[in-house]
Amino acid sequence: MYWRELMRQMYEIGVGSLTIVAVISIFIGAVTAVQFAYQLQDSFVPQYYIGFIVRSSMLIELAPTFSCLVLAGKVGSNIASELGSMRITEQIDALQIMGVNTTSYLVAPKILASIIVIPLLIIISAALGMLGGLLASLANGVTFTVFMKGMMSWFDPFNVVMMLVKATVFAFLLTSVACYHGFFVEGGSLGVGKASTRAVVQGSILILVADYVIAQLMT
Amino acid sequence: MIEVTNIHKSFDDKHVLKGISTVFESGKTNLIIGTSGSGKTVFIKCMIGLFDIDQGDITYDGRSLNKMDKKAKKQLRTDIGMLFQGSALFDSMTVQENVMFPLDMFTHQNYKEKINRVNEVLERVNLVGANDKFPSEISGGMMKRVGIARAIVLKPKYLFCDEPNSGLDPKTSLTIDALISEITEEYKITTIINTHDMNSVMGMGQKIVFLRDGYKNWEGNSQEIITSGNNELQDFIFASEFLKQLKKGAGI
């Protein structure tokens, strides 16, 4: 294993994606809170359910799926275009001639780094989503105590397990699809663009299919 | 010495190399010339093992590439240096990291030894002080020189250059040619250059192999090339009107 390359990839995927994941997570949590509060209008369902719904939605579905769909766009296209450019500029050929195992050096660190880092990003995403939900609720007149009561109610640790399983599977899918399309690119810079698009589209579809399969198997 | 015997290579229905045989001697600059699409790049990629050949044999100082196991091929690759047409420098690494990369991969030298070797080869290619620059910050000629430095850092026995002058102005091309010739003699390596630059052909062609439509059409040296009676070769060399006039004036 090429540890230095693994560390570089972990930094690029993790730190490089932190801002976008943070921004979308806060807004997803906020929108979930606002829209659920809207559904509760003129109903007898107590307001603390907002906190419960925001927490559960973020853990089970929104944090892993939404964030990984965004990461399929950002990380997936980045990996496919990086490897694609290396292929068309003969950098991969140069590595092969030197006797470097290109799969171990270029592909394995990317997949391993994403499997390590993306679940951590998803944990941050879930936490920030809940924070976004809290802030939106406070802005709409729900008190901190009421929101937190919902957040603390009926917590099932299995939801966290499911979130991490989803994050790990999605991370593997989005990076391996991107590596495949980038590594075997053909046709110059046009080919790199096509590989990048294919990586994002196929990665996103596979994430949604895997989401359904995991939901069926784990619930 | 590299000996090539009757090699064939096809891609689907396209027969690219059709029974090429030749010998490239050590300490000499060996040139492969031919028009675009004549099979030069495929030939060079077959020799370095990037493409598997369909038929024939390639031997490196008596060691057959076909009969080598994985370990022997890996060992052989550390004896090969390659300069690519576009230099193929790693974008994410500085000049120093690019040149040090083969040392990181294949030696157990400590950092001080590696940095000394990197500075030594950078000095050899006249790039002192460029250590911290990225490939995007240097000129095409400098990129070629970094490519040469990376190719020779492990002291290879065989140096392959794929169109080393492509994209360079005539003056820089001559500098690169001179550098390759000097390194070939200095390190006593077998250098094989794929080119269609006539300055290179005339200036450094100690052995020239002319490919046409996947066949070896002619071989000789830069003295013999002008007076050869091979019409296809003459058409290739004197393709430009300027050279045709020169030939006429010289009465060749």
pLDDT at A11: 95
Residues of A in contact with B102 (CB under 8 A): 98
The per-residue pLDDT for A82 is 95
What is the helix (H) or strand (E) element at residue B87, kind and residue range? none
Question: What's residue B246's pLDDT?
Answer: 66
The 10s digit of each residue's pLDDT in B218-249 is 998 888 887 787 888 888 877 766 666 766 66
In angstroms, the CA A89 to CA B39 distance is 19
Digit-coded pLDDT (tens) for B8-59:
999 988 999 999 999 998 888 999 998 888 889 899 989 988 888 999 999 9
Q: pLDDT over 90 for what percent of chain A?
A: 80
Answer for the pair A129, A26: CB distance below 8 angstroms, yes or no: yes
CATH superfamily of B1-69+165-252: P-loop containing nucleotide triphosphate hydrolases (3.40.50.300)
- Chain A contacts to B (CB-CB under 8 A): 8, 85-86, 89-91, 93-94, 96-100
Q: Domain ranges in chain B?
A: 1-69+165-252, 80-155
Which residues does chain A have within 8 Å of residue B48's beta carbon, measured at their own beta carbons? 97
- Which tops the pLDDT comparison, B240 or B68? B68
Residues of chain A with pLDDT > 70: what percent? 100
Are the Cβ atoms of A93 and B88 closer than 8 angstroms? yes
Between chain A and chain B, how many beta carbons pairs sit less than 8 Å apart? 43
Mean pLDDT calculated for residue range B202-212: 88
Average pLDDT over residues B180-186: 88
Q: What confidence score (pLDDT) does residue A88 get?
A: 93
In the prediction, which pLDDT does B73 show? 85
DSSP of chain A: --HHHHHHHHIIIIIHHHHHHHHHHHHHHHHHHHHHHHHHTTSSS-TTHHHHHHHHHIIIIIIIIIHHHHHIIIIIHHHHHHHHHHHHTTHHHHHHHHT--HIIIIIHHHHHHHHHHHHHHHHHHHHHHHHHHHHHHHHTT--HHHHHHHHHTT--HHHHHHHHHHHHHHHHHHHHHHHHHHHT--SHHHHHHHHHHHHHHHHHHHHHHHHHHHHHHH-
Interval A186-205: pLDDT, tens: 888 899 999 999 999 999 99
- For residue A133, pLDDT over 90 is answered with yes
Distance CA A17, CA A23 (A): 10
Q: Read off φ and ψ for residue B3, nearest 5 degrees.
A: -115, 125
Tell me what the mean pLDDT of segment B201-214 comes to: 88
Is there a contact between B50 and A97 if contact means CB atoms under 8 Å apart? yes
B195 and B203 Cβ atoms separated by less than 8 Å: no
User: What whole-number distance in Å separates Cα of residue B29 and Cα of residue B181?
Assistant: 7
Q: Which distant-in-sequence residues (6+ apart) come within 8 Å of B49 by Cβ? A: A97, B65, B73, B76, B77
pLDDT of res. A187:
84
pLDDT at position B36, please?
Answer: 84
Q: What is the pLDDT of residue B101?
A: 93
pLDDT higher than 90, residue A85: yes
CB B184 within 8 A of CB B83: no
